[in-house]
């Protein structure tokens, strides 16, 4: 109960602090808008794709088409696209609706019928693009066959290059992170890290205001104070982060994908990491030094994590060092969740965040126990 | 009367430096116990050990019959600390400040509300519930500092210089509050640099120097220690020409202080040297306006015992 009492006081103070609104809300939202619109050309939209599962049914009404289809399926399988024939009791459209498959395809006498998901996933778009290309070529072949069989052979030869089909459609996919989408994620993970700054003053602030005396003189354990403060800090920081997520989603139409829960889990683990780092550093360094170090750390992590502009994950020194930024872990994980529905990508990020967070919390706890007062 | 607080052989070392040196004392129920000492005497250090803010190096502290090292929670619950430096949140209202700290003592709901209102009322901030301390005068902040320490109705209230740097009106208010708290049954430990305050409100006084208690008792008892000196206060028109050294050479004179229109001399009681002093002053062309022989006050007691003034 006392823990909650302390947490509530922490939240009250944070919400009254103008800096909270400035740094945690106004700043990121303005930056998403400015960077998102100013740098919109810098985005090529190249992204990693997840597995694409397609369900199909060959009615056998058009053996010629069926033959081409089988060839297409074989060729495309290697490209992370998997085709499954429709089972007996399955309803193709239902399967797509319930997200088990990206698309459902029927091969009948009147040609190919495609049922894509109404949800606008990038994989759905790619599969649709591939099938459109396939169908166009088939129609071309069918038409040419009647007039010029030799030319038809050439078209067919072309069609056996599914690599091209995949690449082509991937580039045309309308679901790639636009600049607003990119900065919505980047700014959100950045302010999640800003939580370190307020956290670094959690205990130090009490000392400088002498209120640490009252806290230590009260019949409350250090653990209660510690936990109460962490809960309060987590709450306000997460609230700010969620506010930016929702604002960018609804006001800027930024794409946050379909797995909001997982994205929020990643963000929560990042906020915990930030709070732990801030708290830990405030015990490791005295007074203003702690503040400066936390400041430099968050700025560096933001810069390297790609908060201001994307930093390539290449072999260069920058690419290598950026892997040490917690923002990078979070950004990569969240983008994978959003653009390729790779929920598993959250695990390494969350795991790493938790491990580092607990290391810093341990530092804080050990130093706190050594002190006579807070 | 039973002892609320007992300190036995209490010692605190900071490295090699001994801040509190084998101190023993007892504070009885219902007392306003004064803690007098110059800067760095060890008052705050002692108080911090009593309120569990510092660990003692040696000795023991017994509060209401229980050793605080063994029953820290019990001890903390029964003590209210008014820290020497203001300890309030400027970004929280007066009400929220008191309510937050009282909540740390387990008060909740209606009771918390009631005690918070009561404490603010008590220090004269009843109409300032929603005001922020950043807009308060020094005196109001000091009073809020007190309110934060009393809402949980502690048995023992420890006030570490609660009247530093405030206007006389607030000071009177605070002194009256201390008396009122005492009337309501609180035992109080009061430290101050202001001799008059201690003399006015304390029922018993300990003089601390270099971490040791060098004298203890009621003010009458303390004054009785020094039957051998007297204070002579001589009013003069202008102190410009007064030379201190020749005065100090006069037999029996222990110390000389020259202030505005006043020469204050502390001298051995049995030496009759008033004539010599006056002659010297006339030689310095002082226009003497009054001569008074003072009964010893606590200031003199302090000076005699410690060899220094309470305030430098
Ligand atoms: N944490 C500390 N580390 C080292 N020395 C300390 C520490 N705290 C206090 N001291 C020293 O202990 C001595 C007693 O200090 P204390 O604060 O108890 O004095 P005080 O009687 O309260 O003085 P004041 O009237 O100035 O408040 C001082 O010489 C002070 O410098
Ligand atoms: Mg002190």
Same domain for A16 and A118? no
Q: Quote the domain boundaries for residue A316.
A: 2-42+179-369
What pLDDT shows up at residue A106? 81
Nearest CA of chain A to the CA of B116: how many Å?
Answer: 15
Measured from the alpha carbon of residue B159, the closest ligand is 2
Cα separation of B186 and B78, whole Å?
10
pLDDT tens for B51-90 read 999 999 999 999 999 999 999 999 999 999 999 899 999 9
What ipTM describes this predicted complex?
Answer: 0.81
Q: Ligand 1: which of B44, B160, B312 to mutate, judged by most atoms within 8 Å of the beta carbon?
A: B44
Give the largest CA-CA distance in chain A: 97
Do the domain assignments include residue A169? no
Same domain for A86 and A235? no
Same domain for A359 and A262? yes
Do the domain assignments include residue A174? no
Do the domain assignments include residue A80? yes
Cα separation of B173 and B139, whole Å?
9
- A219 contacts on B by Cβ (under 8 Å): 72-74, 76-77, 104-106
Same domain for A242 and A353? yes
Q: Which DSSP symbol is given to A218? A: S
Q: What is the dihedral of CA B238, B241, B245, B250, to 10 degrees?
A: -60
- B87 contacts on A by Cβ (under 8 Å): 209-211, 213-214
Q: Which DSSP symbol is given to A258? A: S
What pLDDT shows up at residue B70? 92
For the ranges A43-57, A220-234, B237-251, the lowest mean pLDDT is seen at A43-57
Same domain for A275 and A142? no
Same domain for A148 and A210? no
- A214 contacts on B by Cβ (under 8 Å): 81, 83, 87, 101, 104, 148-149
Q: Would you tell me which CATH number, out of the four given (3.30.2020.10, 3.30.70.980, 3.30.590.20, 3.40.50.740), belongs to the domain B228-295? A: 3.30.70.980
Cα separation of A340 and A80, whole Å?
12
Do the domain assignments include residue A165? no
Same domain for A127 and A253? no
What pLDDT shows up at residue A146? 63
Do the domain assignments include residue A106? yes
* Terminal CA-CA length for chain B: 37
Do the domain assignments include residue A315? yes
Cα separation of A352 and A360, whole Å?
12
Same domain for A218 and A112? no
Give me the residue spans of the domains in chain B: 3-219, 228-295
- A372 contacts on B by Cβ (under 8 Å): 53-55
B53–A216 C-beta distance less than 8 A? yes
Nearest CA of chain B to the CA of A245: how many Å?
Answer: 28
Cα separation of A123 and A100, whole Å?
12
Q: Given A5, A12, A213, which is nearest B53 (Cβ)?
A: A213
- Nearest residue by C-alpha to atom 11 in ligand 1: B19
Same domain for A358 and A298? yes
Do the domain assignments include residue A105? yes
Measured from the alpha carbon of residue B36, the closest ligand is 1
pLDDT tens for B303-312 read 878 777 766 5
B77–A5 C-beta distance less than 8 A? no
What pLDDT shows up at residue A168? 38
Q: What is the pTM (predicted TM-score) of this model? A: 0.74
Write out residues with Cβ below 6 Å of ligand 1. B 14, 17, 19, 37, 39-45, 84
Q: Given B79, B81, B108, which is nearest A213 (Cβ)?
A: B81
CATH 3.40.50.300 fits B3-219, yes or no: yes
- B235 phi and psi, to 5 degrees? -80, 135
Q: Given A6, A12, A219, which is nearest B105 (Cβ)?
A: A219
Count of structural domains, chain A: 2
Last residue of a domain, one of A99, A125, A159: A159
Same domain for A246 and A113? no
Nearest CA of chain B to the CA of A188: how many Å?
Answer: 27
- pLDDT band per the 50, 70, 90 thresholds, residue B294: confident
- All residues at 6 or more sequence positions from B272 whose CB lies less than 8 Å from its CB, including other chains: none
What pLDDT shows up at residue B2? 87
For residue A189, is pLDDT > 60? yes
Same domain for A183 and A281? yes
Same domain for A278 and A247? yes
For the ranges A37-51, A130-144, A263-277, B143-157, the lowest mean pLDDT is seen at A37-51
Kindly list the distances between the CA atom of residue A56 and the CA atoms of A66, A129, A313, B312, in Å, as whole numbers in the listed order.
11, 16, 37, 96
- Nearest residue by C-alpha to atom 6 in ligand 1: B14
B88–A211 C-beta distance less than 8 A? yes
| All residues with CB under 5 Å from ion ligand 2 | B 43-44, 84
Measured from the alpha carbon of residue B192, the closest ligand is 1
What pLDDT shows up at residue A46? 47
């Amino acid at each position: 109960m006392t823990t909650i009492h302390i947490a509530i006081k922490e939240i009250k103070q944070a919400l009254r602090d103008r800096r909270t609104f400035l740094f945690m809300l106004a700043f990121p939202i303005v930056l998403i808008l400015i960077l998102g619109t100013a740098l919109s050309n810098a985005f090529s939209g190249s992204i990693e794709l997840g597995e694409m599962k397609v369900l199909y049914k060959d009615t056998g009404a058009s053996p010629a088409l069926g033959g081409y289809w089988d060839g297409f399926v074989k060729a495309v399988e290697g490209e992370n696209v998997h085709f499954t024939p429709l089972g007996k009791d399955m309803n193709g459209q239902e399967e797509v609706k319930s997200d088990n498959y990206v698309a459902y395809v029927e091969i009948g006498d009147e040609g190919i019928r495609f049922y894509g998901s109404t949800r606008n996933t990038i994989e759905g778009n790619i599969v649709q693009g591939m099938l459109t290309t396939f169908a166009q070529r088939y129609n071309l072949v069918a038409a040419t066959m009647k007039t010029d069989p030799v030319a038809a052979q050439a078209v067919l030869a072309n069609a056996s290059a599914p690599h091209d089909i995949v690449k082509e459609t991937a580039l045309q996919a309308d679901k790639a992170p636009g600049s607003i989408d990119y900065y919505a994620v980047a700014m959100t993970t950045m302010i999640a890290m800003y939580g370190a700054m307020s956290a670094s003053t959690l205990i130090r602030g009490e000392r400088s205001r002498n209120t640490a005396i009252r806290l230590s003189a009260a019949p409350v354990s250090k653990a209660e104070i510690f936990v109460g403060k962490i809960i309060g800090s987590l709450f306000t920081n997460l609230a700010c982060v969620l506010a930016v997520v929702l604002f960018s989603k609804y006001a800027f139409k930024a794409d946050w994908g379909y797995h909001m829960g997982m994205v929020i889990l990643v963000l929560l683990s990042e906020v915990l990491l930030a709070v732990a780092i801030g708290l830990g550093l405030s015990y490791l360094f005295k007074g203003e030094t702690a503040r400066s170090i936390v400041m430099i750390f968050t700025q560096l992590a933001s810069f390297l994590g790609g908060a201001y502009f994307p930093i390539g994950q290449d072999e260069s020194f920058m690419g290598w060092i950026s892997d040490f930024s917690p923002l990078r872990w979070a950004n990569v994980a969240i983008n994978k969740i959003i653009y390729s529905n790779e929920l598993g990508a959250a695990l390494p990020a969350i795991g790493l965040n938790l491990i580092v967070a607990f290391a810093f919390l341990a530092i804080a706890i050990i130093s706190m126990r050594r002190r006579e007062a807070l | 009367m039973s002892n609320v607080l007992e300190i036995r052989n209490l010692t605190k070392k900071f490295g090699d430096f001994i801040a509190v040196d084998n101190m023993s004392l007892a504070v009885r129920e219902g007392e306003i116990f004064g803690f007098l000492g110059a800067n760095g005497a060890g008052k705050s250090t002692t108080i911090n050990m009593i309120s569990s803010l510092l660990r003692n190096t040696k000795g023991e502290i017994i509060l209401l019959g229980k050793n605080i090292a063994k029953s820290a929670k019990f001890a903390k619950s029964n003590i209210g600390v008014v820290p020497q430096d203001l300890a309030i949140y400027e970004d929280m209202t007066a009400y929220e400040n008191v309510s937050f700290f009282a909540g740390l003592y387990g008060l909740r709901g209606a009771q918390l509300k009631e005690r918070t209102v009561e404490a603010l009322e008590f220090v004269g901030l009843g109409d300032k519930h929603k005001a922020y301390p950043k807009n308060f005068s020094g005196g109001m902040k000091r009073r809020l500092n007190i309110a934060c320490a009393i809402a949980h109705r502690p048995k023992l209230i420890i006030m570490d210089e609660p009247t530093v740097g405030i206007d006389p009106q607030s000071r009177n208010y605070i002194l009256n509050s201390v008396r009122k708290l005492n009337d309501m049954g609180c035992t109080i430990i009061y430290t101050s640099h202001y001799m008059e305050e201690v003399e006015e409100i304390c029922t018993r006084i300990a003089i601390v120097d270099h971490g040791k208690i060098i004298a203890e008792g009621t003010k009458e008892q303390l004054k009785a220690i020094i039957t051998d000196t007297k204070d002579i206060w001589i009013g003069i028109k202008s102190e410009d020409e007064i030379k201190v050294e020749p005065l100090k050479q006069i037999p029996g004179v222990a110390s000389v202080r020259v202030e505005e229109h006043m020469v204050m001399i502390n001298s051995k009681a049995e030496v009759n040297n008033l004539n010599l002093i006056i002659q010297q002053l006339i030689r310095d062309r002082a226009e003497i306006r009054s001569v008074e022989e003072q009964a010893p006050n606590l200031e003199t007691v302090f000076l005699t015992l410690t060899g220094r003034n309470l305030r430098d």
